[in-house]
Structure 1
């Protein structure tokens, strides 16, 4: 299994000192980050779709093998809620493809108040290019059933699991489920101790995946990179 581990975003001035050298220019953050981790989840693309030349520059800045995940624009997931989004989807996918072989996946995160609508979901996934790696994060309980999982498996789309502090072990067992030959995990808790890291690393490594993405959330105190490194240490990578 190829492991791609990192944080949600990288361009945070608060990380100077805890992670980045204090005097590092902002324009050199990505180059520095890509020497520490092999993947990053771009969240700003949710709020504002980057220009093609910006995305090309990202790809040119990082070493071979580095993988970006781009979070899909909220126009698709939150404003239009998957309805009549062919134009927006085609445009965003085109921007993401500017990354070429540095594109790891596109993450579609749906709002908590978007309830299950399989007709709408099926229409949406049919818009996606067949070989495009996509992960989907659902935040309403109604989506978690066999019908959705079958739909995702039919498109080799990963069911993203986002872990929060108050998630029970039963919830993890129920929702950390494979729907593709690759996986996607967002560890959003405020802290993970050494034992918790071992548990999560084993959960990931026990899957029959070709590759897996694991991202820790942005914290102003720079904890995200520390946790990402702790996860890598727990896996022995």
Structure 2
């Protein structure tokens, strides 16, 4: 596998407005993953939140995409929408055991996204984080949690994630709080405020700033622009960094990703 310390991607690959704007005219729908995976270096899969897939499907995704490409999988809703997260063990095992290991070295982080209404309950969150498996069938698993309620803006939450080795998603959103503390051995960034009136979703200066932030994270630092809630910083060691263009003006997401990749000088393999 080609090591690409900073991967930049989009959410999914099936989106009708991308046909003719990102995908070439008359490009076959069944080949959209093939095309997308050669223009961005990662994809966050939202479909795994709503339903399970067969092992053969994950194997097909692996075979369709080039070396160095990575999928981040959003965890099943049955794991993260329940009232008591500490009771999610069976659902977590079902999600992890559906065949995701068929992705092999193209299996990226597992994204555990909480509802915007979920408040921080330290005991429940601590128990949930301990349920997240480190490996499955010999494949290492990496976990990122995406929280969207102000009650998580406390040092105790960061401490729990650091103790569990789980990354906290940094989400740049106009609607939800951002937590810039690094807590895992990789960084996961979601850029959620693209604008349709910008051809690349973001103004050139904004893309320059995000490129600088991604480089800082990959080098082991924390960008000065990231708001942190816990004292101290994570160890300054190089880390894999994932940046996804999500929501906002979704029609611009592929162009935003490609523009950021160009700034980082990390063109995906063709």
Do they fold alike, i.e. is TM over 0.5? yes
Shifted more, 72-81 versus 208-217: the winner is 72-81
CA distance in 2, matches of 1:32, 1:218: 20
Q: Does 1:115 align with 2:125?
A: no
Gaps of 5+ in 1: none
Shift of residue 236 of structure 1?
3.4
Q: Secondary structure at the match of 2:165?
A: coil
**Divergent runs of 4+, >4 A:** 218-221
Task: Please tell me whether the aligned partners of residues 80 and 88 of structure 2 are also in contact (alpha carbons under 8 angstroms).
Answer: no
CA distance in 2, matches of 1:111, 1:104: 22
- The match for 1:125 is 129
Judging changes above 3 Å, is the alpha-carbon distance between structure 1 residues 201 and 81 closer, same or farther for their aligned structure 2 residues? farther
CA distance in 1, matches of 2:26, 2:102: 31
Give the number of equivalent residue pairs.
Answer: 232
Judging changes above 3 Å, is the alpha-carbon distance between structure 1 residues 44 and 220 closer, same or farther for their aligned structure 2 residues? farther
Q: CA RMSD in A?
A: 1.9
- The match for 2:187 is 183
CA distance in 1, matches of 2:175, 2:142: 29
CA distance in 2, matches of 1:94, 1:104: 15
CA distance in 2, matches of 1:109, 1:232: 25
Judging changes above 3 Å, is the alpha-carbon distance between structure 1 residues 221 and 99 closer, same or farther for their aligned structure 2 residues? closer
Q: Secondary structure at the match of 1:203?
A: helix
- The match for 2:146 is 137
Shift of residue 81 of structure 1?
4.9
- The match for 1:57 is 60
Judging changes above 3 Å, is the alpha-carbon distance between structure 1 residues 185 and 69 closer, same or farther for their aligned structure 2 residues? same
Task: Please tell me whether the aligned partners of residues 81 and 114 of structure 1 are also in contact (alpha carbons under 8 angstroms).
Answer: no
Q: Does 1:224 align with 2:253?
A: yes
Q: TM-score, normalised by structure 2?
A: 0.80
Once the two structures are superposed, the pairs formed by residues 1-237 of structure 1 within 5 Å of their partners are 2-95=5-98, 96-130=100-134, 131-165=140-174, 175-191=179-195, 192-207=202-217, 208=220, 209-218=238-247, 222-237=251-266
Gaps of 5+ in 2: 135-139, 196-201, 221-237
CA distance in 1, matches of 2:40, 2:84: 33
Judging changes above 3 Å, is the alpha-carbon distance between structure 1 residues 44 and 80 closer, same or farther for their aligned structure 2 residues? farther
Shifted more, 70-79 versus 227-236: the winner is 227-236
Judging changes above 3 Å, is the alpha-carbon distance between structure 1 residues 220 and 151 closer, same or farther for their aligned structure 2 residues? closer
CA distance in 1, matches of 2:264, 2:212: 8
Shift of residue 220 of structure 1?
7.4
Task: Please tell me whether the aligned partners of residues 162 and 188 of structure 1 are also in contact (alpha carbons under 8 angstroms).
Answer: yes
